[in-house]
A and B are shown apart, each in its own frame.
Chain A
Amino acid sequence: MAAVTRVNGPLVEVDGLDGAAMFELVDVGGVPGEIVALAGEHATVQAYEYTGGLRPGARVASLGAPLSARLGPHLLGGIFDGLLRPLDGTGMWLEPSLLRTSERRLWPFRPSVPEGTPVAPGTPIGAVSGAGTLPYLVRSPGGTVTAVRPEGRYAADAPVATVGGRDVTMEWLWPVRRGLPYRDRLDEQVPLITGQRVIDLLLPVRRGGTVAVPGGFGTGKTVLLQQIAKWCDADVVVYIGCGERGNEMADVLAELRELADPRTGGRLLDRTVVIANTSNMPMMAREASVYTGVTVAEHFRDMGYDAVVIADSTSRWAEARREFASRGGALPAEEGYPADLASAIAAFYERAGLVTTLGGRPGSVTIIGAVSPPGGDLTEPVTTHTQRFVRAVWSLDRDLAYARHYPAVSWSGSFSRDAAALAAWHARNGRRDWVVARTRVAGLLAEADRLSALAELVGTATFPARERVVLLAGRLLREGLLQQSALSAADAYCAPERTSRLAGLILGAVDDCLRLTERGTPAGEVETRDFSDVLRAKERP
């Protein structure tokens, strides 16, 4: 019989687990854990919950599978912990336990494939309605459909069909540390519209892309991510509160419950899966939460949907890995992080992508990960490694935040490697002025930045008129285009057409000023013109 021999926080050593496999789930005295090292009949287990009171000699049972997510129609609109156990409907205090609730809901199922049809793996054989805002597709393992249950209400774990001799249920289990299979990766570049002008225009993200959002505390990281969770045009949003504040999660939940999805009219929460493993919830479940989140997104991708994973923050995930590695006595590399930090970060972001699913439809997982650099230091290992593996970085700037310029995305300190390709997509899709606007806005901002650094030394009075207009243009672009209030009903979300229009309006005003100065109007006179109409345009719908 297997028993605990040593306990040091979440690190539990076990003897007698014969035949156990790496990463297999075990029950150590009533607390769930995962095998992370094996030596002879001796296993090291990382416990997912608080192990207070756990003693040597406590019984250990193997649960026979690695940490797996229960993927089913209950996901959309639900709130879960880092191990994907439902939090809704459970107790006020989260005491350690193996299982929190069992679910007996019945789901309306409608078959879409008659008996006798041969189907490829991943092909939908029916849909469940009422599970969030999208039809939840039940997919086949492949083979000939030998039996299908008629339309009706079934439990998630009840067979609704038999395909290739196997029972098909609405839900299934998948080990979270392994990506769900797909047919091919697609190279096509389609933008994910976030509704935030500075991003959509200057630093766009593509469907299936990856983004890191580094920012010190107080730079508005959480507000920006919440805006994207609310307004981006994905079908499914998986929001992972990975070691962040409980009050913030309560706020996200309250807002998602109240806000209507502009595309469906339903609640935003009904297209969202919230994984709330806040900072004081078990540390190892925090580590697991980013994997459960991506697995859920892949599950919806496989139905042919566009899913977005927002993880706030991946630094807490990396720190949980560091904490455990250090307890286990692993040799530390940079700043105490284990040596596999870079490869772990790369592997996580590589689970994003636009793919052809097994069923043949396109679907995507986009990953947006917040990074919380200690001391706001962008040279620390989690930030630097992450920057290497993502397609875009939206770097949040403390000076902008202190000046109450939100979103405080630094246009000079950020990048998007997909910007040119996505601008071309806009041009192909009827927004020919997009590329022009983008190029001019970026150019003017860069020039204005350079000039204002110079002006701090010598003042602006000595500048030629054109340069003074460029400085003015920088201000108009910042205030009239890049700043966007998360609290404004008219401006919280900005569609590409409107972004295009606003950019055009401001660039037009800049052109007017340039023409005036070319004709000899003194720069001082141009600078004192009333631009309030241009600046307030963003507050009008």
Chain B
Amino acid sequence: MIELEYTAISELRGPLAVVSGVSGVGWDESATIRLPSGETRHGLVLEVDRDLALVQVLEGTSGMSRDGTRVGFAGSPLRVPVGAGWLGRVCDGRGAPLDGGPPVFGTAAAPAGGFPLNPTWRVPPAEPVLTGVSAVDLLTTLVRGQKIALFSAPGLPHLELAAQIAAQSHVGGEPFSVVFAAMGLTHADAAAVRDALELRSAAGELVLLLNLADDPVIERVLTPRIALTVAEHLAFELGRHVLVVMADMTSYCEALREVSAARGEIPARRAYPGYLYSDLASLYERCGRVRGRPGSLTLLPVLTMPAGDITHPVPDLSGYITEGQIVLSPAIPVYPPIDPLASLSRLMRGGVGAGRTEPEHMDLAAQTLAALARARQAGELAELVGAGALSATDRCYLDLARAFTEDLLRQPGDEARTLEQTFERAWRVLSVLPRRELSMLDPGVLEARYREAA
């Protein structure tokens, strides 16, 4: 099609350009902006009003002037080439190559915004993604098609953990890929992620989209959408099990807030736009499994809670949409600092058990959590009255908490544990307690696996 170009820019303000005299330009269309210097920038139409188009310039309007700039419109909302060609590639936040390779051409193009998946076509998630991280596999099992958030206070190794999960995860022998969307990461963090995922990339199982901290903020709004469009195709058309990691969602939401402020919208909580929930949902809801299709799309949004506050709008709204959370806490002294009691996988019950992991998995997880909760109470009491005043049973619980932290939770960032190894450790930890305390486990299983510490 012939792309008409317009040169009448009537206003430049923040990241926005108002183009006048246009015709036939639709809302949410993508635009190409050519500067007199020959530089090309990209844009999205935020509003059309008769012959005016309000264009958000992804790379920002810095250096743009009203004269000599030409704006062309694509005639449709942004489309992304999709296909297996993405596997093994490293691109920027807009999908342009950073690895020196040719542009990624797809077998087809799909709208970056995606379409909602018909709820009647969804299959309830029911098989695990094994991460090789003991605390996750045992207590907050990831289920194929699930969305589970990784919440962290600032300064904790959430990216290391996300990268470790991305590097180690698998679904038995079936084809598996990772799409990693980085939003506003620092160069150091991005380099660490690239290192951690090098093997996966070399195996052609990784798509890496990097929008770094000094990249255009507005481009950040696009990065997860491109990642998800690529991932949806890999999952639902090519039948792969795809894990999408999106880090850091707090940066993404800040970018969204910046756009909203530039547009003069009425702010809602903490000046985030009133549609933050809808916007996050339009990303998070793109996970799932589809009736009659072999693949799955599992989503792990990673976010830092500003000041560690879980009721901040970004973690709060994420928590309302995701199906559970893995919470990192500064109170946990080892890596990974997962707080098992604050973490929850809502879909775990459907994803573990006989034929999936181990028959006693759910009971074992419940028993471990119950014991850790009791240990926490005993620990608080010990701080008040001294450990000496605790009952013998309560002291056993304190021993259990220590054993849990040292033997099961503590795990090097490059160690991938099999499910068997994780279960072995779990039984060793529970065997610290007297057998009578393990009331949530089946006597037959206890007979087989409980080995009281000498």
User: Interface residues, chain A, CB within 8 Å of chain B?
Assistant: 5-9, 13, 50-57, 79, 87-88, 90-95, 217-218, 241, 243, 245-251, 253-254, 276, 278-283, 316, 319-320, 322-323, 326-327, 332, 335-336, 372, 374-377, 402-404, 487
Given contacts A55-B24, A374-B313, A403-B373, 19 further A-B contacts (CB under 8 A): A6-B49, A7-B47, A50-B113, A79-B119, A87-B119, A92-B117, A92-B290, A243-B281, A247-B122, A247-B124, A248-B323, A249-B119, A251-B350, A278-B285, A279-B277, A282-B116, A319-B278, A320-B278, A335-B268
The answer to whether A323 and B278 touch across the interface, beta carbons within 8 angstroms, is: yes
Scoring A87, A326, A377 by chain B CB atoms within 10 A of each residue's CB, the highest score goes to A326
Q: How near does chain A come to B288, taking the closest CB pair, in angstroms?
A: 6
Q: How near does chain A come to B277, taking the closest CB pair, in angstroms?
A: 6
Can you list 16 pairs linking A and B with CB atoms under 8 Å apart? A6-B47, A52-B113, A53-B27, A56-B23, A57-B23, A94-B116, A245-B321, A246-B119, A247-B124, A247-B125, A248-B323, A279-B321, A280-B285, A282-B116, A402-B341, A404-B370
The answer to whether B48 and A326 touch across the interface, beta carbons within 8 angstroms, is: no
The digit string for B356-378, where 1 denotes a CB below 8 A from any CB of A, is 00000000000001100100000
Bound complex: CA A278 to CA B119 (Å): 8
The answer to whether B274 and A241 touch across the interface, beta carbons within 8 angstroms, is: no
The answer to whether B25 and A55 touch across the interface, beta carbons within 8 angstroms, is: yes
For the complex of A and B, 4 pairs with smallest distance between CB atoms = A375-B311, A279-B281, A280-B285, A250-B122
Scoring A245, A276, A322, A335 by chain B CB atoms within 10 A of each residue's CB, the highest score goes to A245
Q: How near does chain A come to B326, taking the closest CB pair, in angstroms?
A: 13
Residue B157 interfacial (CB < 8 Å): no
The digit string for B147-191, where 1 denotes a CB below 8 A from any CB of A, is 100000000000000000000000000000000000000000000
Residues of A within 8 A of B24 (CB): 55, 57
Q: How near does chain A come to B344, taking the closest CB pair, in angstroms?
A: 6
Q: How near does chain B come to A59, taking the closest CB pair, in angstroms?
A: 13
Residues of B within 8 A of A332 (CB): 266
In the complex formed, the residue of B with least CB distance to A221 is B320
Bound complex: CA A299 to CA B132 (Å): 53
Bound complex: CA A276 to CA B285 (Å): 13
The answer to whether B23 and A247 touch across the interface, beta carbons within 8 angstroms, is: no
Residues of A within 8 A of B49 (CB): 5-6, 8, 13, 56
In the complex formed, the residue of A with least CB distance to B110 is A93
Residue B248 interfacial (CB < 8 Å): no
Residue B275 interfacial (CB < 8 Å): yes
Interface residues of B in 110-150 (CB under 8 A from A): 111, 113-125, 145-147
The answer to whether A247 and B274 touch across the interface, beta carbons within 8 angstroms, is: no
In the complex formed, the residue of A with least CB distance to B293 is A92
Residues of A within 8 A of B278 (CB): 243, 279-280, 283, 319-320, 323
The answer to whether B274 and A246 touch across the interface, beta carbons within 8 angstroms, is: no
Bound complex: CA A249 to CA B287 (Å): 14
The digit string for B26-65, where 1 denotes a CB below 8 A from any CB of A, is 1111000000000000000011111100000000000000
Residues of A within 8 A of B317 (CB): 374
Residue B77 interfacial (CB < 8 Å): yes
Bound complex: CA A375 to CA B77 (Å): 34
Taking a contact as CB atoms closer than 8 A, the residue among B236, B268, B313, B344 that contacts A336 in the complex is B268
Bound complex: CA A217 to CA B151 (Å): 14
Bound complex: CA A13 to CA B282 (Å): 25
The answer to whether B124 and A251 touch across the interface, beta carbons within 8 angstroms, is: yes
The answer to whether B27 and A374 touch across the interface, beta carbons within 8 angstroms, is: no
Residue B308 interfacial (CB < 8 Å): no
The answer to whether A253 and B116 touch across the interface, beta carbons within 8 angstroms, is: no
User: Interface residues, chain B, CB within 8 Å of chain A?
Assistant: 23-29, 46-51, 76-77, 111, 113-125, 145-147, 236, 265-269, 274-275, 277-278, 281-282, 284-288, 290, 311-313, 316-317, 319-321, 323, 325, 341-342, 344, 347, 349-350, 369-370, 373
Taking a contact as CB atoms closer than 8 A, the residue among B77, B115, B321 that contacts A53 in the complex is B77
Taking a contact as CB atoms closer than 8 A, the residue among B47, B125, B282 that contacts A8 in the complex is B47
The answer to whether A374 and B269 touch across the interface, beta carbons within 8 angstroms, is: yes
The answer to whether B124 and A250 touch across the interface, beta carbons within 8 angstroms, is: yes
The answer to whether B113 and A326 touch across the interface, beta carbons within 8 angstroms, is: no
In the complex formed, the residue of A with least CB distance to B232 is A93
Bound complex: CA A51 to CA B47 (Å): 11
Q: How near does chain B come to A122, taking the closest CB pair, in angstroms?
A: 33
Residues of B within 8 A of A243 (CB): 277-278, 281
Residues of A within 8 A of B370 (CB): 404
The answer to whether B282 and A374 touch across the interface, beta carbons within 8 angstroms, is: no
The answer to whether A241 and B119 touch across the interface, beta carbons within 8 angstroms, is: yes
Given A218-B344, A279-B321, CB of A52 within 8 Å of CB of B27: yes
In the complex formed, the residue of A with least CB distance to B281 is A279
Bound complex: CA A223 to CA B321 (Å): 15
Residues of B within 8 A of A249 (CB): 119, 122
Residues of A within 8 A of B26 (CB): 7, 52-55
Q: How near does chain B come to A37, taking the closest CB pair, in angstroms?
A: 16
Residues of A within 8 A of B125 (CB): 247
Bound complex: CA A114 to CA B263 (Å): 66
Bound complex: CA A245 to CA B321 (Å): 6
Residues of A within 8 A of B118 (CB): 87, 90-94
The answer to whether A8 and B116 touch across the interface, beta carbons within 8 angstroms, is: no
Scoring A51, A241, A280, A375 by chain B CB atoms within 10 A of each residue's CB, the highest score goes to A280
Residues of B within 8 A of A93 (CB): 114-118
The answer to whether B119 and A316 touch across the interface, beta carbons within 8 angstroms, is: no
Bound complex: CA A246 to CA B283 (Å): 12
Taking a contact as CB atoms closer than 8 A, the residue among B123, B269, B285, B312 that contacts A279 in the complex is B285
Q: How near does chain A come to B213, taking the closest CB pair, in angstroms?
A: 27
Taking a contact as CB atoms closer than 8 A, the residue among A55, A251, A280 that contacts B48 in the complex is A55
In the complex formed, the residue of A with least CB distance to B123 is A250
Residues of A within 8 A of B28 (CB): 51-53
In the complex formed, the residue of A with least CB distance to B125 is A247
The answer to whether A87 and B124 touch across the interface, beta carbons within 8 angstroms, is: no
Q: How near does chain A come to B4, taking the closest CB pair, in angstroms?
A: 13
The answer to whether A79 and B111 touch across the interface, beta carbons within 8 angstroms, is: no
Q: How near does chain A come to B98, taking the closest CB pair, in angstroms?
A: 28
The answer to whether B50 and A5 touch across the interface, beta carbons within 8 angstroms, is: yes
The answer to whether A250 and B47 touch across the interface, beta carbons within 8 angstroms, is: no
Taking a contact as CB atoms closer than 8 A, the residue among B27, B121, B282 that contacts A92 in the complex is B121
In the complex formed, the residue of B with least CB distance to A286 is B278
Residues of A within 8 A of B369 (CB): 404
Bound complex: CA A149 to CA B274 (Å): 54
Bound complex: CA A153 to CA B370 (Å): 59
Bound complex: CA A359 to CA B133 (Å): 64
Q: How near does chain A come to B292, taking the closest CB pair, in angstroms?
A: 9
Q: How near does chain B come to A307, taking the closest CB pair, in angstroms?
A: 22
In the complex formed, the residue of A with least CB distance to B341 is A402
Bound complex: CA A332 to CA B268 (Å): 10
Bound complex: CA A372 to CA B312 (Å): 14
Residues of A within 8 A of B320 (CB): 217, 372
The answer to whether A247 and B323 touch across the interface, beta carbons within 8 angstroms, is: yes
The answer to whether B274 and A326 touch across the interface, beta carbons within 8 angstroms, is: yes
Bound complex: CA A254 to CA B122 (Å): 10
Given A55-B25, A374-B269, CB of A319 within 8 Å of CB of B277: yes
The answer to whether B124 and A278 touch across the interface, beta carbons within 8 angstroms, is: no
